[in-house]
């Protein structure tokens, strides 16, 4: 029996290091980043539809606001790229069940694109190699390749040139979510504006962070969290500074804006500390909603196929 329906689960990410080089002529920035995949997941469900019916996308779940269902969605773009490359017709219903915050700096849209690649590969029996998947992913966005593999990885170039990072232990996170997202291009532009006239050097990987990850040392990792986009996110959303301060006051090992924000990620020593911090943040009144997660976790993976 041919497969009719596939479900792929895909995680969100935080950047433990996000070092941003100068703006290049193509508008992008050279990055050195350390990604960690964390346990907040979207599910992408793809089902075969009538021949000639095309691709129909629906978004469900608790995080749907502002997610497009037309050809601007990376899931549709992933399907179109694959259809072109493999010369197949893709007629399918695709449902994205969202839990990853939208426009939150946790790569939700990129995660869905990575999941779509894995789901289409399974549904249409394409037997894509990792390299083929990666090539399609990199055309869709800088974070998409990482969400295919998950775990902990160093990203260079636009963030899409990956090397696995050696990381031991489990890291516990508390995430302060905002109900209104931030646009990634706007954050990069603000970063450029704030750095105008400064001499920005090539970004370098933090050896100290690599050592702390290898040593399963959350305290060390907490001290070494760095995000060059944080001043820009705080400039466009000043309330983030307050949230960062409140978390640190309540004993987080480290506090950082996640990617281009506005999610703020707090590293904590264990699950119990995470629960305490989540309660304190909720009670403080400065945070919209709070969730907890751990990492690293695997990347996009088939969880059902029938
Ligand atoms: O690659 P992606 O589509 O996710 O990037 C979104 C936006 O983020 C880009 O349009 C660009 O403005 C900015 N960006 C950048 N340098 C990178 C990655 C992203 O300037 N390395």
Any known ligand binding at 103?
yes
Predicted local distance difference test score (pLDDT) of residue 255: 98
Residue 148 pLDDT exceeds 90: yes
Residue 3 pLDDT exceeds 90: no
Any known ligand binding at 101?
yes
142 lines ligand 1 (CB under 6 A): yes
Q: What does the chain come to in residues?
A: 306
Distance 184 CA to ligand 1 centre (A): 7
pLDDT tens column, 39-55: 999 999 999 999 999 99
State the Cα–Cα distance between residues 158 and 214, nearest whole angstrom: 25
Residue 65 pLDDT exceeds 90: no
Average pLDDT over residues 259-267: 97
158 lines ligand 1 (CB under 6 A): yes
Classify residue 192 as exposed, middle or buried by CB count within 10 Å of its CB (0-12, 13-18, 19+).
Answer: middle
Predicted local distance difference test score (pLDDT) of residue 11: 98
Q: What is the DSSP string of 193-208?
A: HHTTTS-PPPP---HH
Q: Which residue has the higher pLDDT, 141 or 66?
A: 141
CATH classification of 171-295, choosing from 3.10.20.90, 3.40.50.1220, 3.40.50.460, 3.30.70.890?
Answer: 3.30.70.890
| Bridge partners, residue 44, by sequence | 8, 96
Residue 2 pLDDT exceeds 90: no
Confidence of residue 62 (pLDDT cuts 50, 70, 90): confident
Characterize 11-23 residue by residue with b for buried, 16 or more Cβ atoms within 10 angstroms of its Cβ, and e for exposed.
Answer: bbbbbbbbbbbeb
Residue 1 pLDDT exceeds 80: no
Distance 161 CA to ligand 1 centre (A): 14
CATH classification (class only), 5-165+298-305: alpha beta
CA 156 to chain centre: 15
β-pairing, 55-61 vs 92-98, is: parallel
Residue 173 in 3-state DSSP? strand
Residue 288 pLDDT exceeds 90: no
Where do the domains of the chain lie? 5-165+298-305, 171-295
State the Cα–Cα distance between residues 209 and 207, nearest whole angstrom: 5
Decide if 143 is catalytic.
yes
Average pLDDT over residues 172-186: 95
Backbone φ and ψ of 168, nearest 5°: -115, 155
29 lines ligand 1 (CB under 6 A): yes
State the Cα–Cα distance between residues 158 and 155, nearest whole angstrom: 8
Distance 77 CA to ligand 1 centre (A): 17
Q: Give the residue from 176, 155, 128 showing the smallest Cα distance to 284.
A: 176
Which atom of ligand 1 is least distant from the CA of 23?
20
Decide if 26 is catalytic.
no
pLDDT tens column, 107-132: 999 999 999 999 999 999 999 999 99
Backbone φ and ψ of 57, nearest 5°: -110, 130
Q: Which residue has the higher pLDDT, 244 or 64?
A: 244
């Amino acid at each position: 029996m041919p497969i009719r329906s596939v479900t792929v689960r895909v995680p969100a990410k935080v950047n433990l290091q996000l070092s941003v080089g100068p703006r290049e002529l193509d508008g992008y920035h050279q990055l050195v980043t350390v990604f960690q995949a964390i346990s907040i997941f979207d599910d992408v469900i793809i089902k075969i539809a009538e021949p000639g019916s095309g691709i129909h996308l629906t978004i469900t779940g608790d995080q749907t606001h502002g997610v497009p269902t037309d050809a601007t969605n990376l899931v549709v773009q992933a399907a179109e790229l694959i259809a072109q490359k493999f010369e197949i017709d893709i007629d399918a219903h695709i449902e994205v069940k969202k839990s990853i915050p939208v426009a939150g700096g946790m790569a939700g849209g990129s995660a869905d694109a990575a999941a779509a690649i894995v789901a289409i590969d399974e549904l249409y029996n394409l037997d894509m190699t990792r390299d083929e998947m990666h090539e399609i992913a990199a055309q869709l966005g800088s974070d998409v390749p990482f969400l295919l593999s998950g775990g902990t990885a160093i990203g260079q170039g636009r963030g899409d040139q990956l090397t696995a990072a050696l990381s031991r232990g489990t890291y516990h996170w508390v995430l302060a979510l905002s109900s209104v997202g931030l646009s990634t291009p706007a954050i990069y532009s603000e970063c450029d504006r704030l750095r105008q006239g400064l001499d920005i050097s090539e970004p370098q990987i933090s050896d100290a962070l690599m050592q702390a990850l290898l040593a399963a040392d959350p305290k060390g990792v907490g001290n070494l969290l760095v995000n060059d986009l944080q001043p820009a996110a705080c400039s466009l959303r000043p309330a983030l500074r307050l949230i960062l301060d409140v978390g640190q006051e309540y004993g987080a090992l480290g506090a950082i804006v996640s990617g281009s924000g506005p999610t703020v990620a707090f590293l904590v020593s264990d699950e119990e500390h995470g629960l305490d911090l989540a309660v304190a943040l909720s009670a403080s009144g400065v945070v919209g909603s709070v969730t907890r997660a751990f990492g690293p976790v695997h990347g996009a993976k088939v969880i059902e196929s029938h």
